[in-house]
Amino acid sequence: LKSISFIGIPKSINALNRLNEIISLDSDSTSSNRQTSKQHQADRCRRSNKESYNSSSAEIYSRGLRLWKSVYSPLSDRLIAKPSHSNPDLPNHIILSHYGHILSEPAEKLGLLGRIATILVAIGTICSLNKLGSQLLSHVLGLKKVFNPTIRSGG
């Protein structure tokens, strides 16, 4: 799901569908295992929807902004202002919808591994797109900042 923020919805849907196909081929094909897997997916979906609606937009925005600042500090304010030149709503959309809803970990699941996995998803998907050097560099710097918070983004 996190790849949506880096490669877009259509490519992410295709990738997730392919991943599910591979997992289905790899798992035992007995009907009881398939039924258990389908029930697990349905339970996970209900749980995910419930968790999403228990958080207010303000909480999610705040979580997204904290993640944004932790990745791009000390340049975070300047970098979030740039997209507003394209559309004044874009900075809020980026913080709320991508960094808040998709990229940040829910409050009850905060942890270093989630952030590292998210950055690795970003690096992998950006590498596959080619010619996105500045975005790739910013995510590599973000990964380095996980282990050394004194590293400055952007040089």
Q: How confident is the model at residue 62 (pLDDT cuts 50, 70, 90)?
A: very high
Nearest CA-CA partner of 6 in 98, 140, 134, 138 = 98
Nearest CA-CA partner of 123 in 132, 110, 114 = 132
pLDDT of 116 above 90: no
pLDDT of 54 above 70: no
Lowest-confidence segment of 30-34, 60-64, 81-85, 125-129 by average pLDDT: 30-34
Q: Could you identify the residue written with the tokens 């909480």?
A: 59
- Predicted confidence (pLDDT) per residue in 64-101, tens digit: 999 888 888 888 899 888 888 888 898 999 999 988 98
* Euclidean distance between CA atoms 110 and 149, whole angstroms: 17
Provide Rg for the chain, Cα atoms: 18
Give the pLDDT of residue 15.
78
Structure tokens at 46: 């209900």
Q: How confident is the model at residue 53 (pLDDT cuts 50, 70, 90)?
A: low
Contact 125, 9 (CB under 8 A): no
Amino acid at 57: S
Nearest CA-CA partner of 119 in 146, 98, 79 = 146
Give the pLDDT of residue 13.
77
pLDDT of 132 above 50: yes
